[in-house]
Amino acid sequence: MNVPHIDRMNAGGDLPLLSVRNLRVEFPRRRGTLVALDDVSFDIARGEVLGVVGESGAGKSLTGAAIIGLLEPPGRIAGGDILLDGEAIHALRGEAMRRLRGRRIAMIFQDPLTSLNPLYTVGEQLVETMLTHLDLTPAAARERALALLDEVGIPAPAQRIDHYPHQFSGGMRQRVVIALALCAEPELIIADEPTTALDVSVQAQIIALLRRLCRQHRTAVMLITHDMGVIAETADRVAVMYAGRVVEIGPVAEVVRAPAHPYTRGLMGAIPVLGAEVERLVQIDGAMPRLDAIPSGCAFHPRCTEASARCRVERPELLPAGATRAACWLYAPARENTDGGPQ
């Protein structure tokens, strides 16, 4: 296995807050083992938003679950390293992982009702989380809860703090969940499709709020989504996933302006452009392969219009492709044939 390329250090020259190196996640079964994530590597710096994008089944949410220790059995981390501020966390179990979860790493789920207990007021849930992870008195925790609800845009927080989740709209519940994620002052937030269930106007508000708060708190964010538009508006860098692998990674402006991997170009071509007159949007033929039927070589080659014979038998590593890196043989340097001539 090749030594993974370090994406980059942050502006101060420090090591990234989160480093994922050659992550492999497997699901054992009677008829063989399914490899759901294979050789996934990326970094996230403090205060940075890394967008992770791809179709359903690409492995985006599974990557987030592996980082925060929420893999469902029989799923397991079979290889690689997950480092949080230089500390290996991939082997943590039980109470050690529970202390980390919520305090140093928080998660925002797609449906806010999965994060909120309907039997407790939002204030009780915020206060309990802070008392668990922070050295605060109940009175100080409630005061901080009020400040957080105000910061995330909940109107009349002094009254709303004692309301139950069902008394909030979907957009307001998601704001409460963001406050819940921030209340223990985590270093990293994994936001898994945080706006999918919301209408477009509320979606824009939540995305702007999440970006602003993370900049203010210097919190790193892993933003998981299938929407390249959300990535373009929110992220600093983007990792494009396909069939359990990162196929392109780089600065979001460069990936949006000049996508290198054919799969990324397909995703970008499927986005309507205001004012442009096109008869038909780009369509990527076929579908994401099942875990028990991942093609040999480059997993994308059956759907790729630029696939060569090499793509069908040899899997590419991430290769330099201008300002980004792409797992595509289009960017491989010329190599020698067995007879000594260029290939």
Q: Give tens-digit pLDDT for 96-133.
A: 998 899 899 999 988 888 889 999 999 999 999 999 99
Give, for 254, the enclosing helix (H) or strand (E). Answer: helix 252-257
Compute CA distances 301 → 52, 203, 209, 284, 292, whole Å.
Answer: 21, 34, 39, 12, 16
Give me the torsion for CA of 134, 137, 138, 140, rounded to 10°. Answer: -90
Residue 142 in contact with residue 225, Cβ under 8 Å? no
- Residue (of 90, 80, 66) closest to 3 by Cα position: 80
For position 14, what pLDDT does the model report? 62
Residue 71 in contact with residue 25, Cβ under 8 Å? yes
- Residues in contact with 134: Cβ distance below 8 Å, sequence separation at least 6, in sequence order: 141, 184, 185
Average pLDDT of the residues of the chain: 89
Residue 230: pLDDT band by 50, 70, 90 thresholds? confident
φ, ψ for residue 155, nearest 5 deg: -70, 145
Q: Give tens-digit pLDDT for 233-244.
A: 889 999 999 999
In the chain, what are the domains? 47-69+91-270+292-331 (3.40.50.300)
